[in-house]
Structure 1
Amino acid sequence: MGVDIPGVHRRRAGYLVCAAVLVALWSVAPDGLPKDVLFVVVGLLGVVGTVVGVRTHRPRAPAAWYLLAAGLLLFVVGDFLYSVYLDLLHVEPYPSPADWAYLAAYPLLIAGLLVLIRARRVGRDLASLVDALIVAVAVGLVAWVFVAGAYAEATGTGQRLLALAYPAADVVIVATLVRLASGPGLRSVSYRLLMGSLASLFAADVVYTVLARTTYADGSWPDMLFFCAYLLLGAAALDPSMRDLSEPVLTERRFSRRRMIGLAAAVLVAPMLEAAELVTGIDVDGWQVKVANLLLVSLTLTRLYLAVLEARAEASRRVQVQDVLAHQVAHDALTGIANRATVLDETAGALDRVGPTGQGVGLLLVSLDHFRAVNDRYGHGTGDAVLRTVARRIRRTARPGDLVGRVGGDELAVLVEVPGSDVELVGLAVRVLEAVQLPVQVGDREVRVTASVGVTVSRVGDTDPDRLLQEAEVAAAQARGDGRGRVVAYDDVLRVRMRERAELENAIRNGLAAGEFVLHYQALVDLSTGAVTGYEALARWERHGHGMVPPSGFIPVAEQSTLICDLGRWCLRTAAVQAATWLRERPAGAPELRVAVNISGRHLSTPEIVPDVEHALAVAGLPARLLVLEITETVLVDRPSARAQMTALRDLGVDISIDDFGTGYTSIGQLQHLPASKLKIDRSLIASTAPGSRELVALVVHAAHAFGMTVVAEGVETTEQLATVRELGCDRVQGFLLARPAPADQLVVVAPR
């Protein structure tokens, strides 16, 4: 339940005001009954403050605070009885029932502290216990020599017991405080107030004991120490940080220099007393000092032994942490197998080792097919479980000594340092593929994944692990291109293809920088009016020394890397600028023209797609409603997460069009869930003469209209096709029959008839 913060502040402020007023009244009150009554009221205020603090903050161990409050209440009862004897009965209150109340308070205070210590401690803490015993023996020795010893010899039996009981109780209080202080945990405001309260009580007892036989008078300055003890306890309970005092602490408190100095001082108490006896000639109780000295030496040796054990344990933990960190650095957190960096390092080492022998190093690259669809369909928890299972299966299938690692989100590698023959390596790859493609049981769900496996073997003189991994990736990509779920070995044909691809990628990159890319535009025509409603922007490459390169000559290569994103950004900016020019230059009353830009699946899946579109619109000064983003149907299958990006783009105000519909596996029923306003039927459906193709187009058109989508027929090249799509209800048409793609200043459109 929540804590009323303003109420907490009001209670603390009220407590402090009351305390200040009572102390001020006590300081000016006449000696005797008035002063003693105020003394009791101050004690009661501390008790009330403690109880209110516990009920307000509800700590994890309230019993500790209730025990402290009960102990304080017994002190107040003792003060009351002391005043009755002194002020009303005019009897010396020592010894008296007040002493029994005082002495009964100490066990409650000690019990409260022990409950706090137990609540904060996780596991055993022998070191703090020994520290407390060392301090207890040292303080007890000092108390006996200077305080209790003299009283015990000069008084009768009852007073002798009291004289011993008070110092003994104070010694236990001090030892318990040391135990609390030497344990771990935050030193909060409440902690400091609590320690101050009990330290004040100890100091008050010492001062009272020393002065009681000589100069002490009721109502004198030592009583302020009792005030501090009472009021600080209430203040500690009222502070919100008191909840932290009873929370378990997992960290351990180190053996600090301050702690070492304090223990050393305590250990030296007995030798210093004996030295003082030799120097001054003052008789110090011999046997008590010798016994205390023996105890201190024994406890010190025990503490040193525990310190050695702590050091060893700390060193062991440090080694374990280093081992864990080293494992984390070298291994994938999800699957527990080696990570990409380790695979590359081990591959480099293997290449160095086999270099002089002339043998090769084998590498398998296992790329899971359509793994994004598993995450998007079943959730990342299921996807993670599938990855862990696949990793275990590959490790069981690989040979002893082979390294299995994860080199990408859905890619795993097997490093085979001594692969034997190429046939043996391909055979291992086939076994890995078979193991991966077995169904995976996740809860009550059975999940199936396929994989494309690339195989490569290093050649004599190879020393580059990145190149070897790239070869395996190329082979795996070829396996995907060949239909997925198969093994492809990297050979000379792929080597030439990889070199050509690298050269083409570099040429595309340089072409973008040199301004070699241009946009051609193809009109979209309204079938009902014959008017042009907009244009689709189509990239062309005027490659230096090669002439005009069609999209098929560079788009597939660009799509295999982030080059397609760079190309997409350029198309967005250039097309938006052209559309803004059309908007400014259109004749009065002419309709606004929209421009459509194709967005690749890779670009759509990046976080940059929305900022890229916003930037293009801002640079061109184009209203978002005049930009159409065309996304192929296959993107929705391969990258289901792209739908969220589509929604974010539509929220910008741009139109979304589903391109090439009919080439993928999107069901017609899914159209209602897509954040799109337009649908383009693929040219393969428009041109098909197969039985049922006309009915299929009619079904698509009807469903799209039912979902409020505009239908565009693309690839219309004959008058028969035009008549068909018009009859079937398509809204707009695009194709060579009406307009061929051309630069913006060369556009020619034939009106449909």
Structure 2
Amino acid sequence: MNAIAERSARMWWIFLSVCSAGIVVYQLMPSGVAGDLVYVGVGLASAVAIVAGVRLNRPSARSAWYLMAVGVFLSAVADGIFSWIVRVQGEDAFPTLADAFYLAAYPFFAAGLLLLIRARRPLKDLAGFLDSAILTAGLGLVVWVLLAAPTMENHHDSWLAAGVSTAYPVADIVLLGMLIGLITIPGSRSVSLILLVLAIVLLIVVDLAAALLDLLSAPSTSIDALWLASYALWGAAALHTSMRTLSEPAIQADVQFPGTRLAALAVATFVAPVMLILEHLLGLPIDGWPIGIATLVMFALLIARMKIAIDQIAAANRQRIEAQEALAYQAAHDALTDLPNRALAVELITAALSGVTGAADRVALLFLDLDGFKRVNDTLGHDAGDELLRVMAGRLRENVRAGDVACRLGGDEFVILLAPLTDEADAVAVANRLVPVLSAPVTVAGQHDVSVGASIGVAVSRGQGTSPDALLKEADSAVYGAKRSGRGRVKVFDAEMRRELHARTELERDLSRAIERNQLIVHYQPIVHLASGGVQGFEALVRWPRDGRLLPPSAFVPIAEESELVCDLDAWVLRQATRQLAHWNERSGSRWLSMAVNVSGRHIVRPRVVAEVREAVAAAGVDPAQLVLEITETALVDDSIAVKHLDELRHDGIAIGIDDFGTGYSSIARLEDLPIDILKIDRRFTHTTGSSPRLLRMIVETGHALGLRLIVEGVETEDQLALLRSIGCESAQGYLLGRPLDPDAIAAPQQRGAPRLVRAGMRQEFSGS
């Protein structure tokens, strides 16, 4: 804060301190002209302070403060005139010219407060206005009955004196209304607001006290200091820097009543009957007209306030219902396409199946899977893929039968529920009509024309015994069959597929049981350093003894990958492989050997993968740098979650390898951006004829330039081995170098000149950075 700002921030309390000293001096001085000069000086200083505060703080509602400054100035002038009349002229009359100036100040006070209220009060806060009016009416009635009416009666001999004496409490009632309107506005209570409210409260209280003392024929000089305090507080309120916020609109009031306001309104509504009761009990004349008019006014205000409260409650209820409906809709619909989501799809299928009452009733489910959608995502990005999905959703809505429902299950998978259905041929006809519609070109990103097809599986319910899950699985199996037969096809779930589905379901159930009961086994294939011929590590390959046969991964892993079961399988292999690695570490007395374990794309995007890898490493007690996680390249392409999880694991020292490189969609240029350390090249590049040697050399050179270790799979001949050595590939695995074996058949590995395959920070070291 600069010096000017600091000086401005101190001025309010400096002014208040000086005024307080002036009030003390006034009280100590004997009654006379000198004391009156101090009195008038404090009033004039307050008017100047208000103007100075406006110039310093520059509020938006400057007119409001200038009007209040005029009111304070007129009051100070009235003080001077009154002092001249009493001290110099020696007169003791009422009313005088001073009263004209005093009363002239009140319209300026009220106008200034009104402008301030208009600037602060929210535009739609009619309820706050009515609350202020009700409180003002109640308190105003008290002031009228107790002070204004008796004062008027006290000066009945002079209509001018009666009018002027009555004008003071009436002006105070108006000022009271303005004050209530100001303090009932919602928002924070700044220092400036507190000072201003205190100034007005003192002015009203002292005015009413003076009227009461006049009724009792008692001198009012004892309360003069309180008028001075009102002046001082008014000037300090204008000088405080927070006075700028008094001109800013407050936040819209809540529907709920604050407890204090509710209590005040309740008290105000009972003022009229209480005044009648008190006047009757005390034997005083009944003020029928004032009380009656005040009662009618408050009754009308209360009715209006109740109407607003009821409207606010009704509006709040409507908003709550609309919000609940919106949340329910969002929970049941896909945010991207606005189609029903998986949860709602299951509900709709369940409802349709529950309506099946006879053997002739049918419910059909079309399962759609877009062909080539991943290519669009990989080449043009996710925004283009999202746009394509929205277009496809629109085409589905426009081309299904009336009453049928299209839903999005997730990704590029959709289902269409056809119900009621009399003939299976109708479902096939709808599917055949959709295939060309969905295959029509789509312009995405404003410039790219892309074409994707659709494979559709059709499943039809079988009477009343079909469950929603079964119908979904049958339709899913049918679309898988359509893709196998060439894509862009329609396939109906039939008896043969039912047998396949049953077999697959049974296999999935048995595999889950085998994982739980540790009935799987792991074989290990060596990874060999080509220059030394030494074993650098092993790859863990799971096998499943079932029905007297040893099933390879290709027989059951693809089925596991269709569900979360593959995550359980990966975790089980991780635990077995790290335990075996720990056993070899113990036997060799060192930690130079590596262990490669495959992790599926479904598993690597799950949050559980990081914890499961860390738990397996910690439980086995192996060095994290000995572990290599092998991921297919398609699992990493444009998948930020997979990349994030792999980054976390690499931070632990675990190496990451891309398996079967060359079979996915990623380009060599993308390798630099991926969190990987090892490139395992697919066996297709080991052919010694055609273009394979040139492609293999290019991949090896690029991998080395990026600081990656290279391993070539599927080495089965001496010619392939010679090719790899000639192009500088350092590591390989394959039947020529060693078959996957049971760990009991593998002698304790010994390091024979082969460098360690992986270690923490290996990629950076290899690249020379």
- State if a TM-score over 0.5 links the two structures: yes
Secondary structure at 2:456 match in 1: strand
Contact 2:136 2:173 in 1 (8 A): yes
- Residue 205 of structure 2 is aligned to residue 203 of structure 1: yes
Separation (CA, whole Å) in 1 of partners of 2:500 and 2:551: 18
Cα drift, residue 519 of structure 1: 2.2
Once the two structures are superposed, the pairs formed by residues 213-232 of structure 1 within 5 Å of their partners are 214=216, 220=222, 223-224=225-226, 227=229, 231=233
Cα drift, residue 180 of structure 1: 5.5
Tell me the amino acid that sits aligned with residue 703 of structure 1: T
Distance 1:7 1:212, change over 3 A: farther
- Residue 533 of structure 2 is aligned to residue 530 of structure 1: yes
- Residue 724 of structure 2 is aligned to residue 720 of structure 1: no
- Residue 495 of structure 2 is aligned to residue 492 of structure 1: yes
Deviations 1:46-102 (A, max 9, x none): 8599769966xxxxxx434x4554455345434543553456773678415354345
Tell me the amino acid that sits aligned with residue 613 of structure 1: V
Contact 2:42 2:231 in 1 (8 A): no
Secondary structure at 1:415 match in 2: strand
Question: What does residue 702 of structure 2 align with?
Answer: 703
Alignment partner of 1:95 out of 99, 113, 117: 99
Cα drift, residue 428 of structure 1: 1.8
Question: What does residue 416 of structure 2 align with?
Answer: 414
Question: What does residue 59 of structure 1 align with?
Answer: none
Cα drift, residue 276 of structure 1: 5.2
Moved more, 462-471 or 529-538: 462-471
Deviations 1:439-487 (A, max 9, x none): 4455525474554433211111235223322332333344455555443
Tell me the amino acid that sits aligned with residue 566 of structure 1: D
- Residue 400 of structure 2 is aligned to residue 398 of structure 1: yes
Cα drift, residue 664 of structure 1: 2.2
- Residue 510 of structure 2 is aligned to residue 511 of structure 1: no
Question: What does residue 63 of structure 1 align with?
Answer: 60
Count of aligned pairs? 734
Moved more, 482-491 or 256-265: 256-265
Contact 2:356 2:464 in 1 (8 A): no
Contact 1:35 1:219 in 2 (8 A): no
Contact 1:366 1:412 in 2 (8 A): yes
Cα drift, residue 716 of structure 1: 0.9
Tell me the amino acid that sits aligned with residue 108 of structure 1: G
Contact 1:49 1:238 in 2 (8 A): no
Alignment partner of 2:177 out of 169, 175, 179: 175
Cα drift, residue 565 of structure 1: 1.5
Separation (CA, whole Å) in 1 of partners of 2:3 and 2:442: 56
Separation (CA, whole Å) in 2 of partners of 1:240 and 1:366: 65
Contact 2:388 2:442 in 1 (8 A): yes
The TM-score normalised by the length of structure 1 is 0.83
Secondary structure at 2:408 match in 1: strand
Distance 1:240 1:693, change over 3 A: farther
Identity of aligned residues (%): 35
Tell me the amino acid that sits aligned with residue 715 of structure 1: G
Separation (CA, whole Å) in 1 of partners of 2:486 and 2:219: 102
Distance 1:316 1:583, change over 3 A: closer
Alignment partner of 2:28 out of 13, 30, 40: 30
Secondary structure at 1:416 match in 2: strand
Tell me the amino acid that sits aligned with residue 675 of structure 1: P
Question: What does residue 743 of structure 1 align with?
Answer: 742
Contact 1:363 1:415 in 2 (8 A): yes
Moved more, 481-490 or 548-557: 481-490
Once the two structures are superposed, the pairs formed by residues 373-522 of structure 1 within 5 Å of their partners are 383-441=385-443, 444-446=446-448, 448=450, 449-462=452-465, 464-482=467-485, 484-522=487-525
Distance 1:251 1:291, change over 3 A: closer
Cα drift, residue 196 of structure 1: 5.7
Distance 1:463 1:549, change over 3 A: closer
Question: What does residue 58 of structure 1 align with?
Answer: none
Separation (CA, whole Å) in 1 of partners of 2:500 and 2:337: 33
Secondary structure at 2:357 match in 1: helix
Deviations 1:692-727 (A, max 9, x none): 222222222232223232322211111122122222
Distance 1:480 1:638, change over 3 A: farther
Alignment partner of 2:365 out of 359, 363, 366: 363
Distance 1:418 1:576, change over 3 A: same
Cα drift, residue 5 of structure 1: 14
Question: What does residue 109 of structure 1 align with?
Answer: 113
Contact 1:370 1:638 in 2 (8 A): no
Cα drift, residue 375 of structure 1: 6.1
Unaligned stretches of 5+ in structure 1? 56-61
Once the two structures are superposed, the pairs formed by residues 199-278 of structure 1 within 5 Å of their partners are 199-212=201-214, 214=216, 220=222, 223-224=225-226, 227=229, 231=233, 246-247=248-249, 249=251, 252-254=254-256, 262-263=264-265, 265-273=267-275
Once the two structures are superposed, the pairs formed by residues 630-709 of structure 1 within 5 Å of their partners are 630-637=630-637, 639=639, 642-687=642-687, 689=689, 691-709=690-708
Moved more, 70-79 or 514-523: 70-79
Distance 1:7 1:357, change over 3 A: farther
Question: What does residue 73 of structure 2 align with?
Answer: 77
Unaligned stretches of 5+ in structure 2? 30-34, 754-769
Separation (CA, whole Å) in 2 of partners of 1:244 and 1:406: 54
Separation (CA, whole Å) in 1 of partners of 2:554 and 2:539: 17
Contact 1:454 1:475 in 2 (8 A): yes
Distance 1:324 1:606, change over 3 A: closer
- Residue 615 of structure 2 is aligned to residue 615 of structure 1: yes
Deviations 1:584-635 (A, max 9, x none): 44368xx922221112111122223333333333233333322222222333
Question: What does residue 597 of structure 1 align with?
Answer: 597
Separation (CA, whole Å) in 2 of partners of 1:677 and 1:329: 41
Distance 1:402 1:232, change over 3 A: farther
Distance 1:492 1:312, change over 3 A: same
Distance 1:633 1:247, change over 3 A: same
Secondary structure at 1:565 match in 2: helix
Alignment partner of 2:575 out of 573, 576, 579: 573
Distance 1:217 1:370, change over 3 A: farther
Distance 1:520 1:327, change over 3 A: closer
Moved more, 206-215 or 528-537: 206-215
Deviations 1:237-292 (A, max 9, x none): 96979859945645642467876665565455445555555555533555444444
Secondary structure at 1:354 match in 2: coil
Deviations 1:651-704 (A, max 9, x none): 332222222122223333333333323222211221474x32222222222322
Cα drift, residue 30 of structure 1: 0.9
Deviations 1:463-522 (A, max 9, x none): 522332233233334445555544333222222222222222222222222222232221
Question: What does residue 558 of structure 2 align with?
Answer: 556
Separation (CA, whole Å) in 1 of partners of 2:245 and 2:548: 77
The TM-score normalised by the length of structure 2 is 0.81
RMSD: 4.3
Contact 1:198 1:229 in 2 (8 A): no
Distance 1:196 1:606, change over 3 A: farther
Secondary structure at 1:461 match in 2: helix
Once the two structures are superposed, the pairs formed by residues 281-430 of structure 1 within 5 Å of their partners are 281-284=283-286, 286-306=288-308, 309-310=311-312, 313=315, 316-317=318-319, 319-356=321-358, 358-368=360-370, 383-430=385-432
Deviations 1:140-183 (A, max 9, x none): 44433333344456286766665455444433344345556666
Contact 1:46 1:231 in 2 (8 A): no
Contact 1:71 1:108 in 2 (8 A): yes
